[in-house]
Structure 1
Amino acid sequence: MASSSLSPLESAKRAAAFAAVDAHVRPELRHIGIGSGSTVVYAVERIVAQGADVNAPRLFVPTSLQAKTLIIEGGLRLADVDTCPELDIVIDGADDVDLALNLIKGGGACHLQEKVIAESSKEMVVVADHRKMSKVLGDSWTKGIPVEVAPFAAQKALGRIRQLGSTSAHIRMGVAKAGPVVTDNGNLCIDAVFPQAVMRNPDHLLRQLKLITGVVEVGLFNGICQMAYFGMADGSVTKQSRDGSYETLS
Protein backbone atom coordinates (compact mmCIF):
# COMPACT_ATOMS: atom_id res chain seq x y z
CA MET A 1 0.00 0.00 0.00
CA ALA A 2 1.32 3.43 -0.96
CA SER A 3 2.16 5.58 2.05
CA SER A 4 0.20 8.49 0.50
CA SER A 5 -3.03 6.50 0.88
CA LEU A 6 -2.52 5.92 4.61
CA SER A 7 -3.80 8.03 7.47
CA PRO A 8 -1.14 9.95 9.47
CA LEU A 9 -1.32 7.35 12.26
CA GLU A 10 -1.00 4.41 9.87
CA SER A 11 1.89 6.14 8.10
CA ALA A 12 3.65 6.52 11.46
CA LYS A 13 3.04 2.85 12.31
CA ARG A 14 4.44 1.88 8.93
CA ALA A 15 7.51 4.05 9.46
CA ALA A 16 8.06 2.51 12.91
CA ALA A 17 7.81 -1.01 11.46
CA PHE A 18 10.24 -0.14 8.68
CA ALA A 19 12.72 1.33 11.19
CA ALA A 20 12.52 -1.80 13.37
CA VAL A 21 13.11 -4.15 10.45
CA ASP A 22 15.95 -2.04 9.03
CA ALA A 23 17.73 -1.97 12.40
CA HIS A 24 17.14 -5.50 13.63
CA VAL A 25 16.20 -7.94 10.82
CA ARG A 26 19.68 -8.14 9.38
CA PRO A 27 20.33 -10.10 6.16
CA GLU A 28 22.29 -12.83 7.95
CA LEU A 29 19.40 -13.76 10.28
CA ARG A 30 17.81 -17.07 9.31
CA HIS A 31 15.05 -17.92 11.81
CA ILE A 32 12.51 -15.14 12.31
CA GLY A 33 9.31 -15.00 14.33
CA ILE A 34 6.38 -13.01 12.96
CA GLY A 35 3.94 -11.63 15.52
CA SER A 36 0.39 -10.37 15.40
CA GLY A 37 -1.34 -7.03 15.01
CA SER A 38 -1.76 -4.23 12.51
CA THR A 39 1.81 -2.95 12.76
CA VAL A 40 3.28 -6.36 11.95
CA VAL A 41 1.66 -6.15 8.50
CA TYR A 42 4.08 -3.33 7.71
CA ALA A 43 7.02 -5.24 9.20
CA VAL A 44 6.35 -8.15 6.85
CA GLU A 45 6.04 -5.70 3.96
CA ARG A 46 9.53 -4.43 4.75
CA ILE A 47 10.98 -7.93 5.16
CA VAL A 48 9.60 -8.95 1.77
CA ALA A 49 11.17 -5.80 0.30
CA GLN A 50 14.60 -7.02 1.46
CA GLY A 51 14.44 -9.26 -1.59
CA ALA A 52 14.00 -12.86 -2.68
CA ASP A 53 17.72 -13.63 -2.41
CA VAL A 54 17.86 -12.47 1.22
CA ASN A 55 14.67 -14.28 2.19
CA ALA A 56 15.28 -17.54 0.32
CA PRO A 57 17.33 -19.23 3.10
CA ARG A 58 15.12 -17.88 5.91
CA LEU A 59 12.41 -19.67 7.88
CA PHE A 60 9.51 -17.70 9.39
CA VAL A 61 7.55 -18.86 12.43
CA PRO A 62 4.08 -17.35 13.03
CA THR A 63 2.48 -16.56 16.38
CA SER A 64 -1.09 -16.76 15.09
CA LEU A 65 -3.27 -17.60 12.14
CA GLN A 66 -3.01 -13.95 11.07
CA ALA A 67 0.78 -14.15 11.11
CA LYS A 68 0.71 -17.44 9.21
CA THR A 69 -1.37 -15.80 6.49
CA LEU A 70 1.02 -12.85 6.27
CA ILE A 71 3.98 -15.20 5.83
CA ILE A 72 2.29 -17.23 3.11
CA GLU A 73 0.94 -14.20 1.24
CA GLY A 74 4.39 -12.61 1.40
CA GLY A 75 5.91 -15.62 -0.35
CA LEU A 76 8.09 -16.38 2.68
CA ARG A 77 9.01 -19.88 3.90
CA LEU A 78 6.68 -21.03 6.68
CA ALA A 79 8.04 -22.98 9.67
CA ASP A 80 7.01 -23.75 13.25
CA VAL A 81 8.58 -24.05 16.70
CA ASP A 82 9.08 -27.77 16.22
CA THR A 83 11.41 -27.23 13.26
CA CYS A 84 12.80 -23.91 14.60
CA PRO A 85 12.99 -24.16 18.40
CA GLU A 86 15.50 -21.30 18.55
CA LEU A 87 14.83 -18.07 16.69
CA ASP A 88 17.13 -15.15 15.95
CA ILE A 89 14.43 -12.52 16.41
CA VAL A 90 10.69 -11.98 16.66
CA ILE A 91 8.91 -8.82 15.50
CA ASP A 92 5.59 -8.39 17.29
CA GLY A 93 3.01 -5.86 18.38
CA ALA A 94 1.75 -5.04 21.88
CA ASP A 95 -1.36 -3.70 23.56
CA ASP A 96 0.54 -1.82 26.27
CA VAL A 97 4.23 -1.07 26.95
CA ASP A 98 5.59 0.32 30.23
CA LEU A 99 8.81 2.21 30.94
CA ALA A 100 10.75 -1.06 31.48
CA LEU A 101 9.42 -2.62 28.23
CA ASN A 102 7.10 -4.96 30.10
CA LEU A 103 4.11 -5.68 27.89
CA ILE A 104 0.44 -6.53 27.93
CA LYS A 105 -0.41 -8.74 24.97
CA GLY A 106 -3.40 -10.85 24.08
CA GLY A 107 -5.92 -8.38 22.74
CA GLY A 108 -6.16 -10.76 19.80
CA ALA A 109 -6.28 -13.81 22.13
CA CYS A 110 -3.13 -15.43 20.76
CA HIS A 111 -0.71 -14.60 23.59
CA LEU A 112 0.14 -18.25 24.31
CA GLN A 113 1.71 -18.67 20.89
CA GLU A 114 3.20 -15.18 21.09
CA LYS A 115 4.94 -15.92 24.38
CA VAL A 116 6.27 -19.31 23.23
CA ILE A 117 7.78 -17.62 20.17
CA ALA A 118 9.11 -14.67 22.18
CA GLU A 119 10.81 -16.92 24.72
CA SER A 120 12.31 -18.95 21.87
CA SER A 121 13.92 -15.86 20.36
CA LYS A 122 17.26 -14.26 21.07
CA GLU A 123 15.66 -10.85 20.59
CA MET A 124 12.10 -9.50 20.77
CA VAL A 125 11.34 -6.18 19.09
CA VAL A 126 7.92 -4.57 19.43
CA VAL A 127 6.31 -2.21 16.94
CA ALA A 128 3.23 -0.23 17.98
CA ASP A 129 1.66 3.21 17.88
CA HIS A 130 2.00 5.88 20.53
CA ARG A 131 -1.35 4.96 22.14
CA LYS A 132 0.31 1.83 23.55
CA MET A 133 2.88 3.76 25.61
CA SER A 134 2.36 3.72 29.40
CA LYS A 135 4.27 4.54 32.55
CA VAL A 136 2.54 1.66 34.34
CA LEU A 137 0.92 -1.28 32.55
CA GLY A 138 -2.80 -0.74 32.32
CA ASP A 139 -2.60 3.04 31.97
CA SER A 140 -3.28 2.89 28.23
CA TRP A 141 -4.76 -0.61 27.88
CA THR A 142 -7.77 -0.54 30.20
CA LYS A 143 -9.46 -3.76 29.06
CA GLY A 144 -7.48 -5.89 31.48
CA ILE A 145 -4.84 -8.60 31.36
CA PRO A 146 -5.76 -11.42 28.97
CA VAL A 147 -5.65 -14.78 30.75
CA GLU A 148 -6.07 -17.91 28.63
CA VAL A 149 -7.85 -20.69 30.53
CA ALA A 150 -9.04 -24.23 29.90
CA PRO A 151 -12.81 -24.01 29.28
CA PHE A 152 -13.85 -26.40 32.05
CA ALA A 153 -11.80 -24.41 34.60
CA ALA A 154 -12.93 -20.93 33.54
CA GLN A 155 -15.39 -20.25 36.35
CA LYS A 156 -12.99 -21.49 39.01
CA ALA A 157 -10.23 -19.34 37.55
CA LEU A 158 -12.53 -16.32 37.52
CA GLY A 159 -13.12 -16.72 41.24
CA ARG A 160 -9.40 -16.97 42.01
CA ILE A 161 -8.59 -13.97 39.83
CA ARG A 162 -11.11 -11.88 41.72
CA GLN A 163 -9.61 -13.04 45.00
CA LEU A 164 -6.25 -11.71 43.80
CA GLY A 165 -7.76 -8.24 43.64
CA SER A 166 -9.17 -7.91 40.14
CA THR A 167 -11.78 -5.16 40.06
CA SER A 168 -13.33 -6.53 36.88
CA ALA A 169 -12.84 -10.01 35.44
CA HIS A 170 -14.98 -11.65 32.77
CA ILE A 171 -14.82 -14.19 29.97
CA ARG A 172 -14.26 -12.38 26.68
CA MET A 173 -17.27 -12.62 24.41
CA GLY A 174 -17.32 -12.53 20.63
CA VAL A 175 -18.44 -9.48 18.67
CA ALA A 176 -19.50 -10.80 15.28
CA LYS A 177 -20.53 -14.19 16.70
CA ALA A 178 -22.55 -15.00 19.80
CA GLY A 179 -20.71 -16.77 22.60
CA PRO A 180 -17.21 -16.60 24.06
CA VAL A 181 -14.02 -15.95 22.13
CA VAL A 182 -12.16 -19.21 21.49
CA THR A 183 -8.38 -19.01 21.14
CA ASP A 184 -6.37 -20.72 18.41
CA ASN A 185 -5.75 -23.47 20.99
CA GLY A 186 -9.42 -24.06 21.81
CA ASN A 187 -9.36 -22.25 25.15
CA LEU A 188 -11.25 -19.28 26.59
CA CYS A 189 -9.87 -15.85 27.44
CA ILE A 190 -10.53 -13.96 30.67
CA ASP A 191 -9.88 -10.21 30.70
CA ALA A 192 -8.90 -9.16 34.23
CA VAL A 193 -8.53 -5.55 35.33
CA PHE A 194 -6.34 -4.86 38.36
CA PRO A 195 -5.76 -1.59 40.25
CA GLN A 196 -2.62 0.40 39.48
CA ALA A 197 -1.08 -0.54 42.84
CA VAL A 198 -1.11 -4.19 41.75
CA MET A 199 0.04 -3.42 38.21
CA ARG A 200 3.16 -1.66 39.53
CA ASN A 201 4.55 -5.12 40.33
CA PRO A 202 3.83 -7.12 37.17
CA ASP A 203 6.30 -9.88 38.07
CA HIS A 204 4.44 -10.72 41.29
CA LEU A 205 1.06 -10.55 39.54
CA LEU A 206 2.26 -12.86 36.76
CA ARG A 207 3.44 -15.45 39.28
CA GLN A 208 0.13 -15.32 41.14
CA LEU A 209 -1.95 -15.72 37.99
CA LYS A 210 0.20 -18.57 36.66
CA LEU A 211 -0.33 -20.50 39.91
CA ILE A 212 -4.08 -20.73 39.27
CA THR A 213 -4.96 -24.24 38.15
CA GLY A 214 -6.57 -24.10 34.73
CA VAL A 215 -4.66 -21.03 33.56
CA VAL A 216 -2.77 -21.83 30.36
CA GLU A 217 -0.97 -18.51 29.83
CA VAL A 218 -1.08 -14.87 30.92
CA GLY A 219 -0.73 -11.82 28.69
CA LEU A 220 2.01 -10.24 30.82
CA PHE A 221 5.34 -10.27 28.96
CA ASN A 222 7.85 -9.17 31.57
CA GLY A 223 11.54 -8.75 30.80
CA ILE A 224 11.28 -10.31 27.34
CA CYS A 225 11.24 -7.31 24.98
CA GLN A 226 14.57 -5.62 24.20
CA MET A 227 13.40 -2.68 22.09
CA ALA A 228 10.19 -0.97 21.01
CA TYR A 229 9.42 1.33 18.10
CA PHE A 230 6.38 3.61 18.20
CA GLY A 231 4.64 5.54 15.46
CA MET A 232 3.87 8.94 16.97
CA ALA A 233 0.89 11.24 16.39
CA ASP A 234 3.06 13.75 14.51
CA GLY A 235 4.29 11.07 12.10
CA SER A 236 7.69 10.60 13.73
CA VAL A 237 9.13 7.37 15.14
CA THR A 238 10.27 6.96 18.74
CA LYS A 239 12.58 4.14 19.86
CA GLN A 240 12.34 3.02 23.49
CA SER A 241 15.02 1.02 25.28
CA ARG A 242 14.61 -1.14 28.37
CA ASP A 243 16.21 1.50 30.61
CA GLY A 244 13.25 3.77 29.89
CA SER A 245 15.13 6.08 27.54
CA TYR A 246 13.58 7.36 24.31
CA GLU A 247 15.09 8.41 21.01
CA THR A 248 13.30 10.24 18.20
CA LEU A 249 14.34 8.72 14.89
CA SER A 250 12.42 10.84 12.44
Structure 2
Amino acid sequence: MATSTKNATEKSPIELAKRAAAFAAVDAHIRPGDKVIGIGSGSTVPYAVERIAAMGKAANENRFFVPTGFQSQNLILDAELDVTVDGADEVDSDLNLIKGGGACHLREKVIAESAKTFVVVADFRKESKVLGEKYTKGVPVEIVPFASARVLSALRALGSTKAALRMAKEKAGPVVTDNGNFCVDAPFPESMMRDPSALLHQIKFITGVVEVGLFTNMCEAAYFGNEDGTITIQSLDGSKEANIKVDL
Protein backbone atom coordinates (compact mmCIF):
# COMPACT_ATOMS: atom_id res chain seq x y z
CA MET A 1 0.00 0.00 0.00
CA ALA A 2 2.87 2.36 0.80
CA THR A 3 4.37 1.73 -2.64
CA SER A 4 1.08 2.55 -4.34
CA THR A 5 0.82 5.83 -2.44
CA LYS A 6 4.40 6.76 -3.30
CA ASN A 7 3.87 6.05 -6.99
CA ALA A 8 0.66 8.07 -6.99
CA THR A 9 2.35 11.14 -5.47
CA GLU A 10 5.04 11.04 -8.16
CA LYS A 11 2.50 11.31 -10.99
CA SER A 12 1.57 14.58 -12.70
CA PRO A 13 -1.83 16.18 -11.95
CA ILE A 14 -3.11 14.98 -15.34
CA GLU A 15 -2.05 11.39 -14.68
CA LEU A 16 -3.58 11.51 -11.20
CA ALA A 17 -6.80 12.79 -12.78
CA LYS A 18 -6.83 9.88 -15.23
CA ARG A 19 -6.14 7.42 -12.44
CA ALA A 20 -8.97 8.76 -10.28
CA ALA A 21 -11.44 8.56 -13.17
CA ALA A 22 -10.42 5.02 -14.05
CA PHE A 23 -10.60 3.80 -10.46
CA ALA A 24 -14.09 5.27 -10.00
CA ALA A 25 -15.36 3.76 -13.25
CA VAL A 26 -14.07 0.30 -12.37
CA ASP A 27 -15.51 0.50 -8.85
CA ALA A 28 -18.94 1.48 -10.19
CA HIS A 29 -19.25 -0.74 -13.25
CA ILE A 30 -17.16 -3.89 -12.89
CA ARG A 31 -19.09 -6.10 -10.53
CA PRO A 32 -18.22 -9.51 -9.04
CA GLY A 33 -20.50 -11.31 -11.49
CA ASP A 34 -18.99 -9.73 -14.61
CA LYS A 35 -17.00 -12.41 -16.42
CA VAL A 36 -16.27 -10.99 -19.90
CA ILE A 37 -14.68 -7.54 -19.84
CA GLY A 38 -13.56 -5.39 -22.76
CA ILE A 39 -10.42 -3.31 -22.32
CA GLY A 40 -9.79 -0.39 -24.66
CA SER A 41 -6.53 1.25 -25.68
CA GLY A 42 -6.74 4.84 -24.43
CA SER A 43 -4.10 6.42 -22.20
CA THR A 44 -6.43 6.17 -19.19
CA VAL A 45 -7.05 2.44 -19.61
CA PRO A 46 -3.86 1.20 -17.85
CA TYR A 47 -5.23 2.69 -14.64
CA ALA A 48 -8.47 0.76 -15.12
CA VAL A 49 -6.39 -2.41 -15.50
CA GLU A 50 -4.48 -1.50 -12.34
CA ARG A 51 -7.73 -1.22 -10.40
CA ILE A 52 -9.08 -4.49 -11.80
CA ALA A 53 -5.84 -6.26 -10.86
CA ALA A 54 -6.16 -4.89 -7.33
CA MET A 55 -9.40 -6.86 -6.96
CA GLY A 56 -7.17 -9.89 -6.50
CA LYS A 57 -6.61 -13.28 -8.06
CA ALA A 58 -9.81 -14.81 -6.71
CA ALA A 59 -11.96 -12.13 -8.32
CA ASN A 60 -10.21 -12.29 -11.69
CA GLU A 61 -9.27 -15.94 -12.19
CA ASN A 62 -12.47 -16.86 -14.04
CA ARG A 63 -12.74 -13.65 -16.02
CA PHE A 64 -12.03 -13.29 -19.73
CA PHE A 65 -10.52 -9.98 -20.82
CA VAL A 66 -10.82 -8.81 -24.43
CA PRO A 67 -8.40 -6.02 -25.45
CA THR A 68 -8.91 -4.08 -28.67
CA GLY A 69 -5.67 -5.54 -30.01
CA PHE A 70 -6.77 -9.14 -29.44
CA GLN A 71 -5.61 -11.23 -32.39
CA SER A 72 -7.68 -14.39 -32.08
CA GLN A 73 -9.91 -15.29 -35.01
CA ASN A 74 -12.58 -16.14 -32.44
CA LEU A 75 -12.58 -12.62 -30.94
CA ILE A 76 -15.99 -12.06 -29.27
CA LEU A 77 -18.26 -11.75 -32.26
CA ASP A 78 -20.64 -14.40 -30.94
CA ALA A 79 -20.40 -13.38 -27.30
CA GLU A 80 -21.68 -10.43 -25.30
CA LEU A 81 -19.31 -8.62 -22.98
CA ASP A 82 -20.53 -7.57 -19.56
CA VAL A 83 -18.73 -4.23 -19.59
CA THR A 84 -16.15 -2.36 -21.68
CA VAL A 85 -13.96 0.40 -20.27
CA ASP A 86 -12.12 2.69 -22.69
CA GLY A 87 -10.82 6.21 -23.07
CA ALA A 88 -11.88 8.91 -25.51
CA ASP A 89 -10.32 11.82 -27.35
CA GLU A 90 -13.39 13.96 -26.62
CA VAL A 91 -16.79 13.58 -24.94
CA ASP A 92 -19.68 15.97 -25.58
CA SER A 93 -22.58 16.87 -23.30
CA ASP A 94 -24.71 14.02 -24.72
CA LEU A 95 -21.96 11.40 -24.23
CA ASN A 96 -21.12 11.24 -27.92
CA LEU A 97 -17.44 10.55 -28.42
CA ILE A 98 -14.55 11.13 -30.78
CA LYS A 99 -12.17 8.19 -30.72
CA GLY A 100 -9.41 7.20 -33.08
CA GLY A 101 -6.50 9.44 -32.11
CA GLY A 102 -4.50 6.22 -31.97
CA ALA A 103 -6.14 4.88 -35.16
CA CYS A 104 -7.72 1.97 -33.24
CA HIS A 105 -11.35 3.08 -33.49
CA LEU A 106 -12.57 0.15 -35.59
CA ARG A 107 -11.55 -2.42 -32.98
CA GLU A 108 -12.56 -0.12 -30.15
CA LYS A 109 -16.05 0.21 -31.61
CA VAL A 110 -16.40 -3.56 -32.03
CA ILE A 111 -15.52 -4.06 -28.37
CA ALA A 112 -17.77 -1.20 -27.24
CA GLU A 113 -20.79 -2.42 -29.23
CA SER A 114 -20.31 -5.95 -27.94
CA ALA A 115 -20.76 -4.88 -24.31
CA LYS A 116 -23.91 -4.61 -22.22
CA THR A 117 -22.34 -1.53 -20.60
CA PHE A 118 -19.82 0.84 -22.18
CA VAL A 119 -18.17 3.46 -19.96
CA VAL A 120 -15.47 5.99 -20.71
CA VAL A 121 -12.67 7.28 -18.51
CA ALA A 122 -10.79 10.47 -19.34
CA ASP A 123 -9.27 13.58 -17.83
CA PHE A 124 -11.01 16.96 -17.67
CA ARG A 125 -9.38 18.18 -20.91
CA LYS A 126 -11.54 15.77 -22.95
CA GLU A 127 -14.92 17.16 -21.81
CA SER A 128 -16.74 19.52 -24.17
CA LYS A 129 -20.21 20.72 -25.13
CA VAL A 130 -19.83 19.97 -28.84
CA LEU A 131 -17.47 17.48 -30.46
CA GLY A 132 -14.58 19.20 -32.20
CA GLU A 133 -14.35 21.91 -29.56
CA LYS A 134 -11.38 20.27 -27.79
CA TYR A 135 -10.21 17.62 -30.27
CA THR A 136 -9.53 19.81 -33.29
CA LYS A 137 -7.66 17.36 -35.52
CA GLY A 138 -10.89 16.15 -37.06
CA VAL A 139 -13.01 13.01 -37.17
CA PRO A 140 -10.80 9.92 -37.56
CA VAL A 141 -11.93 7.84 -40.54
CA GLU A 142 -10.41 4.43 -41.33
CA ILE A 143 -10.41 3.79 -45.05
CA VAL A 144 -9.37 1.18 -47.61
CA PRO A 145 -6.01 2.30 -49.10
CA PHE A 146 -7.17 1.65 -52.69
CA ALA A 147 -10.02 4.13 -52.21
CA SER A 148 -8.05 6.90 -50.50
CA ALA A 149 -8.28 9.49 -53.30
CA ARG A 150 -12.00 8.83 -53.79
CA VAL A 151 -12.77 9.02 -50.05
CA LEU A 152 -10.79 12.23 -49.56
CA SER A 153 -12.66 13.84 -52.44
CA ALA A 154 -16.03 12.75 -51.01
CA LEU A 155 -15.17 13.97 -47.49
CA ARG A 156 -14.16 17.38 -48.84
CA ALA A 157 -17.39 17.59 -50.83
CA LEU A 158 -19.33 16.65 -47.68
CA GLY A 159 -17.89 19.60 -45.79
CA SER A 160 -14.46 18.62 -44.48
CA THR A 161 -12.43 20.85 -46.79
CA LYS A 162 -9.17 20.06 -44.97
CA ALA A 163 -9.59 16.27 -44.79
CA ALA A 164 -6.16 14.62 -45.11
CA LEU A 165 -4.42 11.30 -44.71
CA ARG A 166 -2.78 10.94 -41.31
CA MET A 167 0.95 10.71 -41.91
CA ALA A 168 3.32 8.60 -39.83
CA LYS A 169 5.85 10.39 -37.63
CA GLU A 170 8.57 7.74 -37.42
CA LYS A 171 8.52 6.65 -41.07
CA ALA A 172 7.61 7.96 -44.49
CA GLY A 173 4.05 7.56 -45.69
CA PRO A 174 0.58 7.33 -44.14
CA VAL A 175 -0.31 5.76 -40.81
CA VAL A 176 -1.33 2.13 -41.31
CA THR A 177 -3.90 0.75 -38.88
CA ASP A 178 -3.82 -2.68 -37.21
CA ASN A 179 -6.17 -3.77 -39.98
CA GLY A 180 -3.86 -2.70 -42.80
CA ASN A 181 -5.91 0.39 -43.68
CA PHE A 182 -5.22 4.14 -43.85
CA CYS A 183 -6.59 6.78 -41.47
CA VAL A 184 -7.98 10.16 -42.50
CA ASP A 185 -8.45 13.11 -40.16
CA ALA A 186 -11.52 15.03 -41.31
CA PRO A 187 -12.36 18.33 -39.54
CA PHE A 188 -15.98 19.38 -40.03
CA PRO A 189 -17.66 22.70 -39.20
CA GLU A 190 -19.36 23.04 -35.82
CA SER A 191 -22.79 23.09 -37.46
CA MET A 192 -22.25 19.51 -38.66
CA MET A 193 -20.57 18.32 -35.45
CA ARG A 194 -23.68 19.32 -33.48
CA ASP A 195 -25.41 16.27 -34.96
CA PRO A 196 -22.73 13.57 -34.80
CA SER A 197 -25.18 10.74 -35.48
CA ALA A 198 -26.22 12.26 -38.81
CA LEU A 199 -22.61 12.99 -39.72
CA LEU A 200 -21.59 9.43 -38.82
CA HIS A 201 -24.16 7.98 -41.20
CA GLN A 202 -23.20 10.37 -44.00
CA ILE A 203 -19.54 9.39 -43.76
CA LYS A 204 -20.31 5.67 -43.52
CA PHE A 205 -22.17 5.85 -46.84
CA ILE A 206 -18.96 6.82 -48.65
CA THR A 207 -17.59 3.80 -50.52
CA GLY A 208 -14.17 2.92 -49.15
CA VAL A 209 -14.87 4.00 -45.57
CA VAL A 210 -14.32 1.16 -43.12
CA GLU A 211 -15.21 2.87 -39.82
CA VAL A 212 -15.67 6.33 -38.35
CA GLY A 213 -14.35 7.58 -35.02
CA LEU A 214 -17.72 8.97 -33.95
CA PHE A 215 -19.29 6.88 -31.17
CA THR A 216 -22.93 7.90 -30.75
CA ASN A 217 -25.71 6.50 -28.55
CA MET A 218 -23.30 3.98 -27.04
CA CYS A 219 -21.75 5.38 -23.86
CA GLU A 220 -23.60 4.93 -20.56
CA ALA A 221 -21.38 7.13 -18.40
CA ALA A 222 -18.19 9.16 -18.58
CA TYR A 223 -15.77 9.58 -15.68
CA PHE A 224 -13.58 12.69 -15.84
CA GLY A 225 -10.59 13.09 -13.57
CA ASN A 226 -10.12 16.71 -12.47
CA GLU A 227 -6.91 18.58 -11.80
CA ASP A 228 -7.69 18.86 -8.08
CA GLY A 229 -7.90 15.05 -7.72
CA THR A 230 -11.70 14.83 -7.69
CA ILE A 231 -13.80 13.28 -10.43
CA THR A 232 -16.93 14.29 -12.31
CA ILE A 233 -19.42 11.64 -13.46
CA GLN A 234 -21.64 12.42 -16.43
CA SER A 235 -24.55 10.04 -17.00
CA LEU A 236 -26.66 9.28 -20.04
CA ASP A 237 -29.75 10.86 -18.47
CA GLY A 238 -27.96 14.21 -18.43
CA SER A 239 -27.21 14.24 -14.71
CA LYS A 240 -23.76 15.17 -13.48
CA GLU A 241 -22.04 14.55 -10.16
CA ALA A 242 -19.01 16.71 -9.43
CA ASN A 243 -16.24 17.03 -6.83
CA ILE A 244 -16.30 13.33 -5.97
CA LYS A 245 -13.25 12.15 -4.06
CA VAL A 246 -11.66 8.80 -4.88
CA ASP A 247 -9.38 6.75 -2.64
CA LEU A 248 -6.21 6.14 -4.65
TM-score (ref. length: structure 1): 0.92
* Separation (CA, whole Å) in 1 of partners of 2:196 and 2:131: 8
Structure 2 counterparts to residues 42-121 of structure 1, below 5 A: 42-64=47-69, 80-82=75-77, 85-121=79-115
CA distance in 1, matches of 2:198, 2:138: 16
Report the counterpart of residue 152 of structure 2 in structure 1: 158
> What TM-score do the two structures reach when normalised by structure 2?
0.93
1:224 aligned counterpart, secondary structure: coil
1:209-249 per-residue CA deviation (whole Å, 9 max, x = no partner) reads: 00000100000000000000001122211101123322121
State the Cα distance separating 1:85 from its structure 2 match. 2.2
Gap regions ≥5 residues in structure 2: none
Structure 1 residue 111 displacement after superposition: 0.4
In structure 1, what is the Cα distance between the partners aligned to 2:205 and 2:121? 30
Superposed CA deviations along residues 38-94 of structure 1, whole A, max 9, x for unmatched, are 1000000000110111101100111137xx8xxxxxxxxxx8324x62100000000
Whether the 8 Å contact between 2:155 and 2:161 is mirrored in structure 1 is: no
**In the TM superposition, what is the alpha-carbon distance from 1:12 to its structure 2 partner?**
1.4
Deviation at 1:201, TM superposition (A): 0.9
Aligned-pair CA distance for 1:106: 0.3
Paired position in structure 1 for 2:233 = 239
- Give me the whole-angstrom Cα distance separating, in 1, the residues matched to 2:128 and 2:69: 25
Q: Residue 37 of structure 1 is aligned with which of 33, 42, 64? A: 42
- Looking at structure 1, the residues matched to 238 and 167 of structure 2 have their Cα atoms a distance apart, in angstroms, of 35
3-state SS of 1:54 partner:
helix
**Match status 1:16 vs 2:29:** no
Deviations 1:117-140 (A, max 9, x none): 111100001000111101001101
Aligned partner letter, 1:28:
G
Amino acid at match of 2:104: C
RMSD over aligned Cα atoms: 1.3
Q: 2:15 is paired with a residue of what secondary structure?
A: helix
Q: Please identify runs of 4+ aligned residues in structure 1 that moved more than 4 A.
A: none
Equivalent position amino acid for 1:149 in 2: I
Distance in 2 separating the partners of 1:15 and 1:38? 13
Match of 1:15, as an amino acid? A
> How many equivalent residue pairs?
237
Structure 1 residue runs of 5 or longer lacking an equivalent are: 69-78
Secondary structure at 2:59 match in 1: helix
One-letter amino acid of the structure 1 residue matched with residue 18 of structure 2: K
Amino acid corresponding to residue 226 of structure 2 in structure 1:
M
Give SS of 2:58's match: helix
Q: 1:225 matched to which residue of 2?
A: 219
Aligned counterparts of 1:12 and 1:202: Cα–Cα separation in 2 = 27
Q: Give the 5 Å matches for 1:181-192.
A: 181-192=175-186
Q: What residue identity is the alignment partner of 2:51?
A: R
- After superposition, where does 1:119-130 map in structure 2 within 5 Å? 119-130=113-124
* Equivalent pair of 2:144/2:208 in contact (CA under 8 Å): yes
Alignment-mate amino acid for residue 165 of structure 1: G
One-letter code aligned to 1:4: T
Please, which moves more after superposition, 240-249 or 147-156?
Answer: 240-249
